[in-house]
Amino acid sequence: MTIIDLVYKAQKGNEESFLSLFQKYEKDIYRMAYLYVKNKEDALDVVQETAYRAFKKINTLKNPEFFKTWLIKIAKSCATDVLRKKKKVIHLNLEQKDFIESDDHDLPLSLTLQDLLDTLDEREKSIILLKFYYGYTLKEISKIEELPLGTVKSVLYRTLAKLEKKVRKVDMYE
Amino acid sequence: MSNKVKRELEKIEIPEELHNRAKLGVMQAKKESEKKNQIADNQIPTSPLNKKVAYYKRILIVAAICLTIVSTLTFTPALAAIQEVYNKIFTSEHIDDTGVRMAVISGKGQALDQTFYDKKYDITVHFDRVLTDDKETKLLLTYQSEETNLENHYIDLFEGVSSINLIVESGQKVPLDNVGWGSSYYDSKENKITEALSFASIKEYADQEIRLEIENLTIWNDSGMESLQTTWPLEFKLKPSAVSDRETVEVNKEFTFKGETYNIKQVEFSDLETRVVVTGSDTKLLTDESGMQYRVMSKLEHQFLNARKNSKEYGYSVDDEKSGVFLQSANEKIDPIFSKGEVEGAEDEYVMTFAPVEDRQGSILKVGEEIKIPLTK
């Protein structure tokens, strides 16, 4: 059965179809949540809440082929809510400057999970995840994040520079 | 380049209860929509996150009542015990029994929420929940102390001096046998023990007021075994919500593994576990010249235990890298419950215990990589 068939069935209230769909992405959602909340219990809460909200709202999904993107948006919003409750969300002021560089970016070679967890704020984590984990283009990220393309680019470059700096700093002391 | 992020993110371990948490989310959404259809339109939906807060508040109200009634209870331990419930310790991997975790996640069993204060040792015991079926009872509790160091303390019904007794109407004590070893976790920061006790069924007492008494803690230290003499009582009415059924299906299917022939006699499905009962050419008791009988581990048991790993933090769990014996149901791998390793069947039988399955009809026993036997078709 295709993803689109499963979405249609889930929209009719079939929980098994919904769970089969959800199961395809739950590990990704958990890992994404973990990156935000940094602990297992809260990350599991985010997964549960995502399943709860997604099942409740699946009727509002007009294009079943965008199920994955739709689910990622819900998961992101749940993770942000958990952080907000714990008052951990800090958004940096964004420069609204457009970049002309190509889409071909690179990450420092010695990047670690701890760098991702400790160095980046929530928006930066999100853009790095969407770009390098899920493989979305910058245009797609701008739609998911509901941000201008220029802002997405500037956040991405700033984040890469930040990671590069962090890795170099660590290298210096090693 | 994306491989770097992927590689790093894949270092985040996936907890066993992940899919169950998704199921719980869907279940809650479904329940709410059913309620919405049935009851008034002006009901406000509650998300699991908000429910947590509501649950916490409800518990605080219960705590306030307990504080008024139980004069010996001090404020701090009571709040600590409540916090423990809130922390969902029984659904964490510190409890090495998937059946217990799944049952708690699905809200099964009877909530007890009773606190007993053991004044002599300054131990606050919080009875959280009870579940029972035809073959076993699970009693979930925590105990914590500010004065007694609880490290190495256990309610060891299997090899220790601890026991659990049912007090019948005449006042007589009926000892309840252990079923497996149960699960226990010591939190050194809090000096608190979380325990999922596992003992004989009390199903026949459904709808009756009963009294259970836990007697003595077993202390295992380098010099051997010691005891802490005490009695912790628990009185409650065993409600139908605590009781679940066990479905037994005759299988009678043969398979050969490493030159030995095994017969799957039956499979038992319950809310707490799935038991597969097997007899085989090497599961028979051996008798020596003096008439002494020995039970020798069969090749199947070796295979079952091959995937077992043990840690102080998480007890027995599954080593996914290793080959073992598993169930498959609804395309999911169902793990063994290794803390039930000593559950005895009848003579010549070997019992393998797994987590509960949802799709009973579609269950398959997998031995190693090659052998797959449908259990119910």
Residue A45: CATH number of its domain: 1.10.1740.10
Distance from the A70 Cα atom to the nearest Cα atom in chain B, whole angstroms: 16
Find the CB nearest B18 among A47, A55, A116: A47
Q: Please answer yes or no on whether B1 and A106 come within 8 Å at the CB atom.
A: yes
Q: Residue B358 has what pLDDT? A: 82
- Mean pLDDT, residues A136-149 taken together: 85
Which residues are registered as beta bridge partners of B199? Answer: B137, B178
Residues A58 and A121 in one domain: no
Residues A81 and A8 in one domain: yes
Q: Hey, is the C-beta of A66 within 8 angstroms of any chain B C-beta?
A: no
ipTM value greater than 0.85:
no
- Mean pLDDT, residues A113-119 taken together: 73
Q: Residue B141 has what pLDDT? A: 94
Domain presence at residue A14: yes
Total number of domains constituting chain B: 2
- Mean pLDDT, residues A23-50 taken together: 90
Domain presence at residue A105: no
The C-alpha atoms of residue B372 and residue B110 are separated, in whole angstroms, by 37
Domain presence at residue A147: yes
Domain presence at residue B33: no
Q: Residue B64 has what pLDDT? A: 36
Q: Residue B211 has what pLDDT? A: 94
Task: Please work out, in degrees rounded to the nearest 5, the angle formed at the alpha carbon of residue B206 by the alpha carbons of B203 and B211.
Answer: 90
| Domain finish residue from B242, B276, B293 | B242
Domain presence at residue A72: yes
Q: Which residue would you say has higher pLDDT here, A66 or B243? A: B243
Residues B326 and B189 in one domain: no
Domain presence at residue B40: no
Distance from chain centroid for Cα A112: 17
Q: DSSP state, A86?
A: T
Residues B94 and B224 in one domain: yes
Q: Please answer yes or no on whether B4 and A109 come within 8 Å at the CB atom.
A: yes
Q: Helix, strand, coil proportions of chain B in percent (round to 5)? A: 25, 40, 40
| Domain finish residue from B188, B216, B242 | B242
Find the CB nearest A15 among B8, B26, B47: B26
Q: Residue A107 has what pLDDT? A: 54
Q: Residue B122 has what pLDDT? A: 93
Q: Which residue would you say has higher pLDDT here, B60 or A4? A: A4
Residues B256 and B196 in one domain: no
In this structure, what are the phi and psi dihedrals at residue B258, rounded to the nearest 5 degrees? 50, 45
Q: Residue B88 has what pLDDT? A: 63
CA distances from B371 to A10, A109, B254, B306, B367 (A): 34, 43, 11, 16, 5
Q: Hey, is the C-beta of A84 within 8 angstroms of any chain B C-beta?
A: no
Residues A10 and A80 in one domain: yes
Which residues are registered as beta bridge partners of B243? Answer: B132
Domain presence at residue B176: yes
Q: Residue B20 has what pLDDT? A: 85
Q: Residue B66 has what pLDDT? A: 36
- Mean pLDDT, residues A76-103 taken together: 57
Residues B84 and B227 in one domain: yes
Q: Please answer yes or no on whether A113 and B8 come within 8 Å at the CB atom.
A: yes
Residue in B with minimal Cα distance to A113: B8
Per-residue pLDDT of chain B (377 residues; tens, 9 = 90+): 456 777 778 888 888 888 888 988 888 888 777 766 655 444 344 444 444 444 444 444 344 333 333 333 333 444 444 444 434 677 777 777 878 777 777 778 898 888 999 999 999 999 999 999 999 999 999 999 999 999 989 999 888 899 999 997 777 889 999 888 888 889 888 899 999 999 999 999 999 989 999 999 999 887 788 899 999 999 999 999 999 989 999 999 999 999 999 999 999 999 889 999 999 998 888 777 777 777 778 899 989 989 888 877 777 888 888 899 999 888 788 889 888 776 777 778 899 999 988 888 889 999 998 899 998 76
Residues B216 and B273 in one domain: no
Q: DSSP state, B43?
A: P
Q: Which residue would you say has higher pLDDT here, A54 or B320? A: A54
In this structure, what are the phi and psi dihedrals at residue A77, rounded to the nearest 5 degrees? -65, -40
The yes-or-no verdict on residue A104 having pLDDT over 80 is: no
Q: Which residue would you say has higher pLDDT here, A70 or A119? A: A70
Q: What CATH number does residue B223 fall under?
A: 2.60.40
Q: Please answer yes or no on whether B1 and A107 come within 8 Å at the CB atom.
A: yes
Q: Please answer yes or no on whether B5 and A128 come within 8 Å at the CB atom.
A: yes
| Size of the A and B interface in Cβ pairs below 8 Å | 112
Residues A77 and A128 in one domain: no
Q: Please answer yes or no on whether B8 and A116 come within 8 Å at the CB atom.
A: yes
Q: Residue B198 has what pLDDT? A: 92
Look at A144-148, A155-159, B37-41, B245-249 and tell me which has the smallest mean pLDDT.
Answer: B37-41
Q: Please answer yes or no on whether B24 and A112 come within 8 Å at the CB atom.
A: no
Total number of domains constituting chain A: 2
CA distances from B88 to B83, B105, B194, B232 (A): 9, 9, 11, 23
Domain presence at residue A37: yes
The yes-or-no verdict on residue A122 having pLDDT over 50 is: yes
Q: Hey, is the C-beta of A1 within 8 angstroms of any chain B C-beta?
A: no
State which residues form the domain around A126. 113-173
The C-alpha atoms of residue A123 and residue A139 are separated, in whole angstroms, by 16
Residue in A with minimal Cα distance to B89: A41
Domain presence at residue B191: yes
Structure tokens that stand for B24 in this block: 């719980």
| Domain finish residue from A66, A85, A104 | A85
Q: Residue B2 has what pLDDT? A: 55
Q: Which residue would you say has higher pLDDT here, A92 or B251? A: B251
Question: Does residue B118 sit in helix, strand or coil?
Answer: strand
Domain presence at residue A98: no
Q: Which residues of B touch A135 (CB under 8 A)?
A: 2
Domain presence at residue B31: no
Residues B237 and B252 in one domain: no
Residues A22 and A73 in one domain: yes
Distance from the B28 Cα atom to the nearest Cα atom in chain A, whole angstroms: 7
Q: Hey, is the C-beta of A112 within 8 angstroms of any chain B C-beta?
A: yes
Residues A94, A100, A101, A105, CA torsion sign: positive
Find the CB nearest A133 among B9, B17, B24: B9
Q: Residue B285 has what pLDDT? A: 80
Residues B277 and B257 in one domain: yes
Residues A57 and A124 in one domain: no
- Classify residue B344 by burial, with Cβ atoms within 10 Å: 0-12, 13-18, 19+: exposed
Q: Residue A87 has what pLDDT? A: 57
Residues B196 and B311 in one domain: no
B241: closest CA among B210, B271, B274? B271
Question: Residues with Cβ < 8 Å from B311, sequence gap 6 or more?
Answer: B317
Which residues are registered as beta bridge partners of B183? Answer: B196
Q: DSSP state, A46?
A: H
Q: Residue A93 has what pLDDT? A: 38
Return the CA Rg of chain B.
Answer: 22
**Quick count: other Cβ atoms within 10 Å of Cβ B357?**
21
Residues B200 and B226 in one domain: yes
At residue B231, what is the residue type? T
Q: Please answer yes or no on whether A56 and B45 come within 8 Å at the CB atom.
A: yes
Q: What CATH number does residue A160 fall under?
A: 1.10.10.10
The C-alpha atoms of residue A30 and residue A134 are separated, in whole angstroms, by 14
| Domain finish residue from B242, B275, B290 | B242
| Domain finish residue from A43, A70, A85 | A85
Domain presence at residue B357: yes
Residues B131 and B188 in one domain: yes
Q: Please answer yes or no on whether A111 and B19 come within 8 Å at the CB atom.
A: no
Q: Hey, is the C-beta of A4 within 8 angstroms of any chain B C-beta?
A: no
Domain presence at residue B60: no
The yes-or-no verdict on residue A95 having pLDDT over 60 is: no
The yes-or-no verdict on residue A105 having pLDDT over 70 is: no
Secondary element (H or E) of residue A114: helix A113-119
Question: Residues with Cβ < 8 Å from B27, sequence gap 6 or more?
Answer: B106
Domain presence at residue A103: no
Domain presence at residue B349: yes
Residues B238 and B304 in one domain: no
Q: Residue B41 has what pLDDT? A: 42
State which residues form the domain around B311. 247-374
Structure tokens that stand for B169 in this block: 């109407």
Domain presence at residue A127: yes
Residues B207 and B251 in one domain: no
Alpha-helical regions (H) of chain B: 2-9, 18-38, 48-69, 75-86, 98-105, 299-306
Residues in chain B: 377
Q: Residue B222 has what pLDDT? A: 76
